[in-house]
Structure 1
Amino acid sequence: MDHDRAEGEALNPQEYTGLKMEVTQWSEAAKSSDIQSKLAGRKAFLVAATLRPETMYGQTNCFVGPELKYGVFAVNEKEAFVCTLRAARNMAFQGTFDVQGQVNQLFEFSGKDLVGTKIKAPLSINPEVYVLPMESVLATKGTGVVTSVPSDSPDDFATLTDLKKKPEYYKIDPSWCALDPVPVISTPTYGEMIAPALVKQLKIQSAKDAKQLAEAKEVAYKEGFYNGTMSIGEFKGESVQDAKPKVRESMIKGGVAFPYAEPEGLVISRSGDECVVALMDQWYLDYGEPTWRAQAEKLLAKMDTYGSETRNGFEAVLAWLNKWACARSFGLGTKIPWDSQFLVESLSDSTMYMAYYTVAHFLQDGYDGGKPGLLNIAAEQMTDDVWEYLFSNGPFPSSTTIPKASLDKMRHEFDYFYPFDIRSSGKDLIPNHLTFCIYTHVAMFPEEKWPLSMRTNGHLMLNGQKMSKSKGNTLTMRESIEKFGTDASRLSLADAGDGIEDANFDEKTANANILRLHTLITWCEEMAGPDTKLRQGEKNFHDGIFETEVNNLINITKGHYDNYNFKDALKYGFYELQSARDWYREVTADVGMHHDLVQWWIRVATLMILPIAPHFSEHIWSTVLKEPKSVQFALWPEITKPVDRTTIDAGVYMRDTTKTLRDAELSLLKKMNKGKGGQAPYDPKKPKAVRIYVATKFPEWQDACVQIVKETYDAEREKVDDAQVRQLLIQRGMIKDKKAMPFIQAFKKRITEFGATTAFNRTVPFSEVDVLKELVPYLKRTLDLVDVEIFFVDDASTKEGPGFTKNIIESAEPGSPAFEYRNV
């Protein structure tokens, strides 16, 4: 059962065909170990686990791992199997050996001692083949013994080719690998020799070309299974899909094969033991049943998963999920009504408890359930008929002793809360518990009660590392609260990440959040106090920018909260909100911030961070803002005016221009400090001014490139035809312009990022000159400038004198002004 595993959740049994290959002649190394006396008259069989029984007609040899350990295990008094101990343990619990669960090892070999052994190859046109070495055989998959069909397996063909080329290097007799591939399956694409054809096509040189061989293996299997026809054997002419189960059944009936299963990967129990697949009495839930599956797929199609990864995960599980073992004989759980010796295993039994949540408080007091709940109902009174009445609109149970008013109260509660709006859980539960929840709800409830959404998350790492008790890298919720406080912990958890990828709780971030909260509290207290000296009266240009930006952040943050994207909600509703305030404070330092906007900002900041940092919000709301009721009664902040995109763009333009001007000066200072200044255009340490050049139109060559992109853009496919772009560049004599293609590539990225409509609309929606004039006082103050002059490119290009550099002036573009500093 999945929840009984320490490792390997969601791994299922992998079913093989166990092929019995009787030893007819032992290798010299095996003979020298007195193997016959140890067998005590038993026949010995090398046992291979194959997923492709239909190809056994083409066996040319058998492979073992030369460095692996192999045991000879007594099956009964007449037979012994040669395989790995891991495989023998699985077989012992599947009815293969005489005594269930008992492994009797008679002898142990190394793989190299088995090389040269001659065996019978069931079904093969080569009745006897030799055991040969293969370095890639794994002890953790199958039985450690691999049948070789070089006509259909690229790995087998590549290894056999290597052995034929260098038999002396591999210490084998050339006659052991002398058999050629045998045609088994015919395909339209690769003929009757799939593996040799793929090895040639992919230019595979040896068995060490693991990446190419993995690709070839996948192609060979799919091509053979879906498009192949049998070329040999009892089912010649039939499709491989039809013949495969028939060949397997025939071999098992003939006594040369048997069913074998093992875990798909490593599964470790909570006791630390490696798990096996056991054959035992079991009840199954038939999740793959077509009608039931169709209902589950219908629910998934309607349900919000908050991301494509989660939806893809559910779709993949629904595609393969079939019969699921749902019973166990020990532990806690519900007894299976028709077979009371078994309990329903936990993952299958815990998929409807969300429904129980709606009425739990009426039935029990607290988690232990020792006391009756609000309606004083005993457990034995909750019969099947009562639950039918509550959850399935069934008739009122005439035999019940519970008052109808009490049942109606519970029924109303269930109807009010169901369907549940969201189920939030770990991504590792998609393959079992969450998919079972979907199946159970479509089986038990009408469509109007089906779940509305499920959201999954990754695991939580600590400081970029997986949490591990053995390494001491753990942090409990209690420890985090004691160390960082509740709200700093919650901020850091929100910042850790929301997606299906693993989130990371960073203790440095948590520490920084303590200081951030205290700093913000202090500032709010100062601004809400009586001596703030904030500006009153009419609002100016920067007030309007700030108010619009805050309104925009209110909208963005709400959208992220609605989608449970707490990291982005924190980014825009906390960090970006403070960044907007910081810019507003700086840009209005000469006149001061507006009193009403600051008070409004404090309220907005308090409400937007409330879901993540409720204690901080409560303190600001009640203590600083003196509100009579708790912040928990407050509504989401309302937008004070419609968000104007032009105003938002103007704000971004101001910050970008300031940053560009500042970065240019810092870059020059850095070069001068390193002695790399050369002929510097000005001395940043002396009094300086700046000239800013505003362009009203783009260069003609850029407009020509944009026109070419526009003509080749396919709106339906949302894609630019690169071949047509090249043709038009040639036709219009622009193909040799080194600036054209890089500009076009950058413009294509802009289309992807902002959409075609925005990208092709290359006009600036505001007056750059007017915005720059409003910015001049701030630029003078923050960059220590004596003067700031603003020119249109067309006017500046005709001027002469110091500071008017033609190539700088001509580099200006709409929305991206050029500038040059000069000393005064």
Structure 2
Amino acid sequence: KQYVKEMISGKPVKDARISTVELLNSIGRHDTIYEIMNGPIYCRCGAQIVVKVIKDQWFIAYDDPEWKMAVLNSLDNINFVPSEVRKDIEKAIFNLRKRAVGRSRGLGVKLPWDESEIIDSLSDSTIYTAFYTISHLLKKANDKLFDYVFLGLGNPEEISKELGISKEEVEELRREYNYWYPVDSRHSGRDLVQNHLPYYIYNHLEILGKLPRQIVINGFVRVGGKKMSKSFRNVYPLSKAIKEYGVDPVRIALATPKLSEDVEFNSSVVTSIADQLKRIYSLIVELLEAKGENNFGTAEKWLSSIMSEKIKTVDEKMRNLDFFEAYNIILYDIYNDFKDYLNFTNGINEDLIKKLISAWLRMIYPAAPHIAEELWSKAFPGLVAEQEYPKPEEFTIYPEAVVEKGYVDYVISEIKELERIVGEGEKAVIYVNNDLSLAKDTAKAIEEGQSLFEFARGNEKLEKVYSSIKAYDGIFRKSLLTLQEFDEIRTLANYANYIMSKTNLGQLSVYDSNDPNVPDFKGKKSQALPLSPAIVIFSS
């Protein structure tokens, strides 16, 4: 009894099972029983599932060769996310055989031609999603109504007379169904790839003649590295998570991981998201209260350009259901862009900031509607939910500003890296190589997808240029390709004070590396590359 109390009672099933086996072994009462692996089977309610041979059983002929081939060909009309799941569904369809469609007990719809049998739930579930489209409008129904709504058969006027409803109501049901069908995206778990989803495609093609435009496979929610299960004692009710962390952080934590992967519900991740939302809230309130002179310089042009590009990128990510990357940009990258702007500008442009905040809140809204609406109410009329999602065209792109800001940031990062290695210095000498033509040729090659080997062909200098231009982001390279001129010396001179304020330097000297009269400190002069200057730091 003491062993049971200490090692079995109150323990997780997994641990208790091992302790029980050890106990039975120790008293000589343990034995091995061989059983059929697929039984007994229990449903979620706890009742045993009985396998029964039914006389005159009806089957769905999923092995019919013509039907099977039509279904396989129809997959070309469906977008699968992730794309590799298509192979799994093709394999499942290819292996499908006849499936019993009826059962003799339980809840369900009776077979129309044999009321002694009830349609099994898995077969029924493949088609009833069509009913959702009209369930909120349905008052009376019969077979003729459903034939008209779902198949377009019959006369709506005759149906309306039979049911005692108006012709307009009958036609409205048909319009509602056609509005929603075919569905834009069917989401399902990866455990249903072998059964429900193939049946879903089979029956939608054969009965309705309408296929989903897209099928998306989701992973499972895991807690503590394990799938949620009562036996693991790790079931985390959604209501509890919302109460502890708030709705918006939980929504983002559950919605943003990659779709095909399991969602690890981790308290530290949710807390981190909540903290970032608080930072965003504080920043937007600060920006809305700030006063400026509405100047429109390089900082403002850069921020306008960056927002246009970010909106375009996020839109592409959202369309591809890559919510992880999309909301990394929305919650973190754009936040950092605003902070960077505040450091870079001489005084904020109130009109531009308000316009940018409007776009940002419209991007935040789908995943975090509550904080988006709260912030929206502080500056804009109506609801953010009623607004259109932002478009890249709302903001102008200024290539010169993008290249200037990107170049200055690159130089600052290089100086900081040198300071980390050699220590802080009082003075820096910067050698530049104003070969814009080579820089643009390299940027074009990268944007066209050329590899380092294809571009450089073993040329050491070109390899270095390729690597340096590759270090810049895509919008920088695209902007660079539109410029007719860019003077690195003038740019560094214009932003010398800004560069020194961001580093520990007290003096900055800039030289043209191609000038033979310029002194060569520490042999660095020849190492200057286009848009990648050579830098020497001198200690005080």
**Mapped contact 1:692–1:788 kept (Cα < 8 A):** yes
* Counterparts in 2 of 1:595 and 1:720: CA distance versus 1, 3 Å: closer
Tell me, yes or no, if structure 1 residue 800 matches structure 2 residue 519: yes
Q: How has the CA–CA distance of structure 1 residues 545 and 342 changed in structure 2, closer, same or farther, with 3 Å as cutoff?
A: same
| Structure 1 residues 567 and 547, CA gap change in structure 2 (3 angstroms) | same
Q: 2:390 aligns with which of 615, 626, 637?
A: 637
Partner of 1:576: 333
Q: Output one character per residue of 1:263-288: Cα deviation in whole Å (capped at 9) or x when no partner.
A: 6xx99644799999986654322223
CA contact (8 A) 1:457 1:500 kept: yes
- 1:527 and 2:281 are equivalent in the alignment: no
Structure 1 residue 787 corresponds to structure 2 residue 507: yes
The one-letter code sitting in structure 2 at the alignment partner of 1:811 is Q
- 1:690–1:275: structure 2 CA closer, same or farther, 3 Å change rule? farther
Equivalent pair of 2:434/2:487 in contact (CA under 8 Å)? no
Rate the CA distance shift 1:279–1:693 in 2: closer, same or farther, 3 A.
Answer: farther
C-alpha distance in structure 2 between counterparts of 1:490 and 1:651, whole Å: 35
Match of 1:393 in 2: 152
Equivalent-residue separation in structure 1 for 2:219 and 2:40 (angstroms):
21
Question: Secondary structure of 2:216's partner?
Answer: strand
Supply the distance in 1 between the matched residues of 2:88 and 2:400 (Cα, whole angstroms): 41
* CA distance 1:719–1:512, shift in 2 (3 Å): closer
Give the superposition deviation at 1:292.
Answer: 1.7
Equivalent pair of 2:77/2:213 in contact (CA under 8 Å): yes
Offset of 1:721 from its aligned partner?
13
Aligned with 2:97 (options 286, 300, 322): 322
1:630 maps to a residue whose letter is L
Q: Look up the SS of the partner of 1:805 in the other structure.
A: helix
1:175-194 aligned at under 5 Å gives the runs none
Shift of 1:632: 1.5
Greater CA radius of gyration, 1 or 2? 1
2:353 maps to: 598
> In structure 1, which of residues 488, 494, 512 is the aligned counterpart of residue 249 of structure 2?
488
Q: Which residue matches 2:536?
A: 820
Structure 2 CA distance, aligned partners of 1:774 and 1:504?
Answer: 48
Q: Distance in 1 between matches of 2:200 and 2:360?
A: 38
Q: 2:212 aligns with which of 436, 448, 451?
A: 451
Q: Quote how far apart the aligned CAs of 1:616 are.
A: 0.7
Q: Per-residue displacement from partner, 1:110-162 (whole Å, max 9, x unpaired)?
A: xxxxxxxxxxxxxxxxxxxxxxxxxxxxxx8xxxxxxxxxxxxxxxxxxxxxx
Which amino acid in the other structure matches residue 520 of structure 1?
Answer: I
Who is 1:95 aligned against?
none
Amino acid at match of 2:489: V
What whole-Å deviation, never above 9, does each CA across 1:268-324 have from its counterpart, x for those lacking one? 644799999986654322223222223323432112224312323322222222323
Structure 1 residue 666: Cα displacement:
2.0
Q: Which residue of 2 aligns with 1:216?
A: none
CA gap 1:359/1:276 in 2 versus in 1, 3 angstroms: closer
1:350 Cα deviation after fit: 0.9
Indicate the residue corresponding to 2:187 in structure 1: 424
Structure with the larger helix share: 2
* Match 1:470 to one of 201, 212, 231: 231
* SS in structure 2 of the partner of residue 305 of structure 1: strand
The yes-or-no answer on 1:561 pairing with 2:312 is no
The answer as to whether partners of 1:314 and 1:435 remain within 8 angstroms in 2 is: yes
Q: 1:351 to 1:535 in 2, by over 3 A?
A: same
For residues 281-320 of structure 1, what are the structure 2 equivalents within 5 Å?
Answer: 282-320=57-95
Map 1:229-308 onto structure 2 (within 5 A): 269-270=42-43, 282-308=57-83
On the 8 A contact 1:658/1:779 being kept in 2, the answer is yes
SS at match of 1:691: strand
* Alpha carbons 1:764, 1:815 under 8 Å: kept: no
Correspondence for 2:129 among 354, 369, 389: 354
Is residue 310–residue 500 contact of structure 1 (8 Å, CA) maintained in 2? no
Contact in 2 for aligned 1:362/1:410 (Cα 8 Å)? yes
* Counterparts of residues 97-112 of structure 1 (less than 5 Å): none
Q: Cα offset for 1:567? A: 1.6
Cα offset for 1:612?
A: 0.7
**Is the strand fraction higher in 1 or 2?**
1
- Which residue in 1 is equivalent to 2:427? 689
* 8 Å Cα contact 2:150/2:177 also seen in 1: yes
Distance, in Å, in 2 between the alignment partners of 1:647 and 1:337 is: 70
- Kindly tell me: are residues 656 and 792 of structure 1, through their superposed partners in 2, closer, same or farther at Cα, counting changes over 3 Å? same
Q: Take 1:811 and 1:511, find their aligned partners in 2: how far apart are those partners?
A: 46
Aligned with 1:561: secondary structure? helix
Letter of the 1:468 counterpart: S
Q: Look up the SS of the partner of 2:326 in the other structure.
A: helix
Alpha carbons of structure 1 residues 692 and 336: separation in structure 2 relative to 1, 3 Å: same
* Cα pair 2:189 2:219 within 8 Å, conserved: yes
CA displacement at 1:817 relative to structure 2: 1.9
Question: CA offsets per residue over residues 209-239 of structure 1, 9 Å max, x none?
Answer: xxxxxxxxxxxxxxxxxxxxxxxxxxxxxxx
SS at match of 2:234: coil
- Displacement after TM superposition at 1:601 (Å): 2.3
1:655 paired residue number? 409
Q: Distance in 1 between matches of 2:322 and 2:519?
A: 56
After TM superposition, give the deviation of residue 412 of structure 1 in Å.
Answer: 1.9
Taking the aligned partners of 2:211 and 2:220, their CA distance within structure 1 comes to 27
Name the counterpart of 1:513.
273
2:362 to 607, 619, 633: 607
Residue 809 of structure 1 and its aligned partner are, at CA, apart by 2.6
Report the CA distance between 1:650 and its aligned residue: 4.6
1:648 is displaced (CA, Å) by: 4.0
Three-state SS of the structure 1 residue aligned to 2:122 is helix
**Quick check: 2:301–2:398 contact (8 Å CA) kept in 1?**
no
Q: Is the 8 A contact 2:127 2:203 kept in 1?
A: yes
TM-score between the two structures when normalised by the length of structure 2: 0.79
Q: C-alpha separation between the residues in 1 aligned to 2:77 and 2:386?
A: 33
Cα distance in 1 for partners of 2:42, 2:408 equals 61
Q: CA, structure 1 residues 545+720, in 2 after alignment: closer, same or farther (shift >3 Å)?
A: closer
Amino acid at match of 2:366: P
Residue 599 and residue 283 in structure 1: after superposition, are their counterparts in 2 closer, same or farther (change >3 A)?
same
Aligned length: 491
- 1:547 Cα deviation after fit: 1.2
Return the offset for 1:615: 0.8
Aligned AA for 1:769?
I
Q: 3-state DSSP class of the match of 1:308?
A: coil
TM-superposed deviation, 1:355: 1.5
Q: Give the deviation of 1:553 after TM superposition.
A: 0.8
Structure 1 unaligned runs (5+)? 1-69, 72-83, 90-139, 141-262, 364-375, 670-683
Specify every segment of 5 or more residues in structure 2 that has no aligned partner in the other structure, as ranges: 1-30
- Inter-partner Cα distance in structure 2 for 1:356 and 1:697: 66
The letter for the 1-side match of 2:63 is G
Displacement of 1:637: 2.6
Counterpart Cα distance in 2 of 1:475 and 1:388? 43
Deviations 1:377-421 (A, max 9, x none): 2xxxx2222211111111125572232332122122112222221
The corresponding residue for 2:300 is: 543
Instruction: State how far apart, in whole Å, the 1-side matches of 2:405 and 2:81 are.
Output: 32
Deviation at 1:353, TM superposition (A): 2.2
| Aligned-partner Cα distance in 2 for 1:85–1:640 | 70
**What is the CA–CA distance in structure 1 between the aligned matches of 2:422 and 2:112, rounded to whole Å?**
82
Say if 1:694 and 1:818, in contact at 8 Å, map to a contact too.
yes
Counterpart contact for 1:689–1:822, Cα < 8 Å? yes
Q: 1:761-780 maps to which residues of 2 (within 5 A)? A: 766-780=486-500
State the distance in 2 between where 1:620 and 1:415 align: 37
TM (norm. structure 1) is 0.53
Alignment-derived partner of residue 11 in structure 2: none
Contact 2:101 2:120 in 1 (8 A): yes
Shift of 1:480: 1.2
- 1:384 match: 143
In 1, the alpha carbon distance for the partners of 2:73 and 2:327 equals 34
Deviation at 1:361, TM superposition (A): 0.7
CA displacement at 1:719 relative to structure 2: 9.2
| Higher relative contact order structure (alpha carbons within 8 Å, sequence separation ≥ 6) | 2
CA distance in 2: counterparts of 1:771 and 1:434, whole angstroms? 59
Cα distance in 1 for partners of 2:407, 2:222 equals 38
What's the offset of the Cα at 1:814? Answer: 1.8
